Amino acid sequence: MTNTFRYLPDTKQDQEEMLSFLNVSSIDDLFEDIPKEIRLEGELNIPEAVPEPLLLKKMQQLASKNKNANNYPTFLGAGTYDHYIPSVVNHMISRSEFYTAYTPYQPEISQGELQAIFEFQTMVCELTGMDVANSSMYDGFTSLAEAASLAISSTRRSKVLVSKAVHPESRSILNTVARGQEYTVEEVNLVDDVTDLRGLKEQMDKSIAAVIVQYPNFFGSIEDLAEIKKIADTQGALLIVSANPLALALLQAPGKLGADIVVGDMQPLGIPMAFGGPHCGYFAVHKKFMRKVPGRIVGQTTDEQGKRGFVLTLQAREQHIRRDKASSNICSNQALNALASSICMSALGKQGIRQMAQLNIEKADYMAKCLQKAGFIIINQSPFFNEFVVELPRPIKDFNTKLLEAGIIGGFDLESDYGFDNQMLIAVTEQRTKEEIDQFVKVLEEVVND
């Protein structure tokens, strides 16, 4: 017989025994302290409970309405990407000692978790060219806002400059945090697909705590970090770079080009798209900012017997309780997703990550050339990684509707965030095949000729 009521917290007899112990006659008596005028009268306006098998069928029917990257090739990036994830990643993070692990305050029973986080920090430092990384943050967007807060706190200045080529959601969160911490955010305009360096120079003054850029930027193009660093240095401002960690396998590390703080999202390395989250942000700095890094840092040490060991170091979770003096109020991390990224990077190895990054460049380049050959205009004037912008002769929704009918998830419409009419941001990862790219271009041509 099917168990119709799987999640019963107690029986009627249990309830009667508890009421007797409390010396009350009914469950309603437990709510006597709540004024009657604010108590709920009657039943909640929700469907009645159904047996578990029927509920599962209903949920599966609803889930099947989603068009996802497991069934459809996707060219939609804009912050979340369809990348190869070695099967070992899910096997490892599904081990109970990892997916049920709490914050490793007690190093004597948490060495596995602590070492995993330490390795994550080490790999982030190698990719970014920085000295110190924390044990992760919620996502790349909040990491960027935290970097701005650190810059404001360190320089004791009142303003940050952020390029419009930085992800719109990053800029939105940055503005939200700035209002709370009472500093000003000014945006730097674009020249074609990159930051306007001349405009940046004109906006620089002694009130600027930091210049924030993305690498590659939101349009997939590569910013000139070395030149931007020179401009920031003219007024003693810090350079904050939000970088795609996969792209860093081939691009020059931001730390080698003068970045003071490097942040980003580890989603391209081992974390599934999952309809937009959860992600895992990274945060890396030069040694001089080490004690101001938000969140947790795992350090390597030795025990009484001289054996290698790992501990949370430099700061405690409670360090940011005094809000008026805090550089951050972040006190948590994404250890499980950080572990997923660590396993992914370890499984691929240095050469594997480079090959994966190279495929992104080559496939995006192939698609851009195919679109140009078909008569479409590619907006990007600078070299790009795995995303680029194409201009189409009709509204983007017309093309995306036809692409979906053809079994393809199209690109990102830039009109809502940038006001760019008929421009689509296309992501081409190593997962996309030549056949899928060719079919995408073919559908676009059919829409134009329809």
Burial class (CB in 10 A: 0-12, 13-18, 19+), 302: exposed
Which tokens sit at 251? 């691009």
Domain 350-449 has CATH 3.30.300.30: no
Nearest to 279 by CA among 328, 226, 333, 324: 333
* Delimiting residues of CATH 3.90.1150.10 domain(s) in the chain: 350-449
Taking the model in full, what pTM does it have?
0.88
Per-position pLDDT tens, the chain of length 450: 445 555 666 888 888 999 999 999 998 899 989 998 998 888 888 988 888 899 999 999 999 988 888 889 999 999 999 999 999 999 999 998 888 877 777 888 889 889 999 999 999 999 999 999 999 999 999 999 999 999 999 999 999 999 999 999 999 999 999 998 899 999 999 999 999 999 999 999 999 999 999 999 999 999 999 999 999 999 999 999 999 999 999 999 999 999 999 999 999 999 999 988 899 999 999 999 998 898 889 999 998 899 999 998 886 554 555 656 666 767 677 889 999 999 999 999 999 999 999 999 999 999 999 999 999 999 999 999 999 999 999 999 999 999 999 999 999 999 999 999 999 999 999 999 999 999 999 999 999 988
Domain with CATH 3.40.640.10 in the chain: 87-344
Which distant-in-sequence residues (6+ apart) come within 8 Å of 442 by Cβ? none
CA dihedral 358→362→364→365, nearest 10 degrees, is: 140
- C-alpha distances (whole Å) from 419 to each of 70, 264, 344, 379, 416 are 31, 25, 37, 15, 6
Q: Which residue has the tokens 């309405």?
A: 65
CATH architecture of 87-344: 3-Layer(aba) Sandwich (3.40)
